[in-house]
Structure 1
Amino acid sequence: MGKIIVVGGGAAGIMAAGRAGSRGHEVHLYEKNNRLGKKILITGKGRCNLTNDCDVETLLENIPGNPYFMYSAFYHLDSPQTQALFHRLGLETKVERGRRVFPVSDKSLDVVFALEQYLRENKVKQHLDTPVEEILISEGKAVGVRLKKGTVIEADAVIVTTGGLSYPATGSTGDGYRFAKKVGHQVTRLYPSLVPLKTAEEWCKSLMGLSLRNISIQVKNRKGKTVYEEFGEMLFTHYGVSGPVILSASRHLILTIDEGYKLYIDLKPAMDEKKLDMRLLRDFEKYANRDFINALDDLLPKKLIPVIVALSGIPESKKVNSITKEERKSLLTLTKGLPLTITGTAGYNEAVITCGGICVDEIDPSTMESKLVKNLHFAGEVLDVDAYTGGYNLQIAFSSGFTAGEGVLPQGQEE
């Protein structure tokens, strides 16, 4: 059996270390933070959406970035197997809307506890507060690491699972890209993905914190072509918009965001224009003698009313019974397509993941081993693979990590 070093104690690293340890290797896990799984702790607003309860084909459909690279890894460890592993480690899970899987406790800390249990039972030695500075290569093979403090640690193989650039406060500062480039790997252009969007409209600030459920969005390019649409939830922020549908939409825009996009929010997707117009007529009849601004409580969230009134061009003090058909049409158009101008993203500090990474053409998908350097493996967000929201990105981390742990030092190569 060999000595394996895993660099990075996130989802992929813990899974890689645990799996390599279960095969009898001596495994050392090096983490720059003072605890493991720091990014896991903040996922899903601290609840941790750890996977999606679906089959392999559905996983692949939700990966816009190099899906078929993950085909082999998902067959090493798919979603049902991931859930079964967590159950065996003592974590109870539940399935919520969109087949998202969460811990029953709603605490991401319990996911980290289960993963730490996986390390303990496979005798993985943890080295916290221990940043790695360099991967050591000799005669085309990975032979160990040099720590930041200068110590050289020899090994028979190295697995790099250092994450991307998103949420740098958790330690994701691009170390893996540096390691990869130094040994000759290509790193594709990097972008913050699953990221809140900035908008030009100042009125978003007044709606900060307002969450909208059961809305639908459309994103259109400069030519008016719809590039993305989805139904779900969103949130207004002081600089623009966030929430599940916005994060997924961002993945379709980030590569060309400078070209200019418009976002349209349908506040009442369950009603077509005709039905909504009938609804407006009923409300206007009910509140016929009120000022316009006081007649929309049944239709819209309170915080949103002043914004819609201002954008409609209808004087707020105008009596409802004197609103014209054209004015009602203006209100209807706004309700079915509240427009926003996208100006950029909130950047890596708020991005869930990184789009781009180590070129997967240079990685063996069945073992996650570098095709350029023997006994050097990469897994997780450091690779050029990324998915939409819904638990898919953590499944990529778990599956690629597990595959690396299984593929490291195959039979006959162990020293």
Structure 2
Amino acid sequence: MKKIIVIGGGAAGMMAAIAAAENGHTVVLYEKNEKLGKKIYITGKGRCNVTNACDWQTFFDNIISNPKFMFSSFGAWNNQDMMDWLEAKGLRLKTERGNRVFPESDKSSDVIRTLQKELERLGVKIYLNTPVKELLLDGECCTGVVLMNGRRENADAVIVATGGISYPSTGSTGDGYRMAEQAGLKVTETSPALVPFDAVFADGRQVKELQGLSLKNISVSIYQKERLLTSAFGEMLFTHFGVSGPVLLSASSMVTGAIRRGELHMELDFKPALTEAQLDARILREFEVAKNKQLKNVMGSLLPSGVIPPVLRAASVAAEKPIHEITKAERERLVQVLKHFPMRLTGLRGYNEAIITQGGVSVREIAPATMESKKVKGLFFAGEVLDVDALTGGYNLQIAWSTGYAAGKGVE
């Protein structure tokens, strides 16, 4: 039996503590907040998308950074294992669109309560409001921690599960990165990810006039100069500062490096189900039955009313122009804009609005089956503190469960 200290009471930390305690170790968990699972509480808009009920290949297809690193830990504790475990502990689950898995109650607090009950059943000692200042290191071994109040706590192993920098109000303030660097480990450059964009129209106008407008069944393509970086289909939202919504949040994780080097170009396709020729034919039909109406009054059959003014501006066609006066060239410009509406993405929003952090403790320095540092014996890392991240849909929480489980079981 060994004494194990877990730093951080989020998803990865709680799972690591449970897995270690199941192996008969004495486990102490230090959490800087006043309660466990503070970030879990707000995930999935308070409903907690605990995992994704997808197959193996789909899971890895949705990991953005270092998917191969996850082979061992996901193989040992996968999404089905997590679902079975939660249900065995009394938490009923349901699967929704996109294979997203939620508690049947739609309450993230029920997920936290299930984990906390198991921690208590296994005898894990939980200390809330207890931040850890630094690691205790003896040569190439980690021998414990120093608490913020100066007290030294010895241990046979330490598991760092402190999260990233996203949503710092939940306690994710980069503590784990500092601890990793203290131990001589490399931390890759970090960036907010799964985060909205600052954006303007192609002519530089602010997008505030469309604030609150949600668009469904559209596609976006993001370019750096002429090179296509990513494209996606789904739902988006205009905000007072730019653009958000599922397709943009996912896209943000694909372009973090590129947007640091300068603004990007985005094209919005309002009618992705139609080719340009099909869209032109549809517009001609609309025009044929409304020859004497003004263009702005006919566009309502093609677009939500709010987006009509910027579309007509981009196409350089007067909103008040009667349909029978519109030229072929103007109609062709309108088709082009509806299929390739131009916008400029000027930056990413900050960590306060980011669902996750991209970057972190370099996985090259971590043993993938156990999560132990290759340089420092007895030092383990799990969850968002690692340089592994995925798209939305429960994948990031599964990374936390899998790596947490691996770290807890990795202490021999």
Quote how far apart the aligned CAs of 1:140 are.
Answer: 2.7
Task: Measure, in 1, the Cα distance between the counterparts of 2:15 and 2:349.
Answer: 30
Indicate the residue corresponding to 2:410 in structure 1: 407
1:38 equivalent in alignment to 2:41 = no
Q: Contact (CA 8 Å) 2:166, 2:353: kept in 1 or not?
A: yes
Moved over 6 A (4+): none
Quote how far apart the aligned CAs of 1:48 are.
Answer: 2.0
Structure 2, gaps ≥5 residues long: none
Indicate the residue corresponding to 1:261 in structure 2: 264
Q: Contact (CA 8 Å) 2:198, 2:345: kept in 1 or not?
A: yes
Q: What letter corresponds to residue 253 of structure 2 in structure 1?
A: R
2:240 to 227, 238, 241: 238
Equivalence map 1:47-196=2 (5 Å): 47-196=47-196
Give the structure-2-normalised TM-score.
0.95
Q: Contact (CA 8 Å) 2:262, 2:346: kept in 1 or not?
A: no
Q: What letter corresponds to residue 169 of structure 1 in structure 2?
A: S
Indicate the residue corresponding to 1:270 in structure 2: 273
1:361 equivalent in alignment to 2:376 = no
Equivalence map 1:19-38=2 (5 Å): 19-38=19-38
1:213 to 211, 216, 220: 216
- The CA deviation string for residues 194-247 of structure 1, in whole angstroms up to 9 with x for no partner, is 22111133342111121111111111121x221211111111111111111112
Secondary structure of the residue aligned to 2:310 is helix
Task: Measure, in 1, the Cα distance between the counterparts of 2:121 and 2:244.
Answer: 40
Task: Measure, in 1, the Cα distance between the counterparts of 2:341 and 2:113.
Answer: 44
Secondary structure of the residue aligned to 1:371 is coil
Task: Measure, in 1, the Cα distance between the counterparts of 2:165 and 2:289.
Answer: 54
- The CA deviation string for residues 334-360 of structure 1, in whole angstroms up to 9 with x for no partner, is 111111111110021111111111111
Secondary structure of the residue aligned to 1:64 is strand
Task: Measure, in 2, the Cα distance between the counterparts of 1:186 and 1:311.
Answer: 47
Indicate the residue corresponding to 1:225 in structure 2: 227
The alignment of Structure 1 onto Structure 2 pairs a total of residues equal to 408
Tell me whether 377-386 or 88-97 shows the greater mean CA deviation: 88-97
Indicate the residue corresponding to 2:309 in structure 1: 306
Quote how far apart the aligned CAs of 1:139 are.
Answer: 4.2
Task: Measure, in 1, the Cα distance between the counterparts of 2:70 and 2:233.
Answer: 27
Indicate the residue corresponding to 2:391 in structure 1: 388
Root mean square deviation, CA, Å = 1.5
Q: Contact (CA 8 Å) 2:314, 2:341: kept in 1 or not?
A: no
Indicate the residue corresponding to 1:14 in structure 2: 14
Secondary structure of the residue aligned to 2:120 is helix
Secondary structure of the residue aligned to 2:352 is coil
Q: Contact (CA 8 Å) 2:200, 2:206: kept in 1 or not?
A: no
Indicate the residue corresponding to 1:413 in structure 2: none
Q: Tell me: CA distance 1:321–1:108, structure 2 relative to 1, closer, same or farther (3 Å).
A: farther
- The CA deviation string for residues 135-183 of structure 1, in whole angstroms up to 9 with x for no partner, is 1122432222111111222222110000111111111110001011111
Indicate the residue corresponding to 1:346 in structure 2: 349
Tell me whether 65-74 or 193-202 shows the greater mean CA deviation: 193-202
Secondary structure of the residue aligned to 1:297 is helix
Task: Measure, in 1, the Cα distance between the counterparts of 2:95 and 2:29.
Answer: 31
- The CA deviation string for residues 114-147 of structure 1, in whole angstroms up to 9 with x for no partner, is 2222322322221111111011122432222111
Indicate the residue corresponding to 2:249 in structure 1: 247
Give the structure-1-normalised TM-score.
0.94
Secondary structure of the residue aligned to 2:390 is coil
Identity %: 52
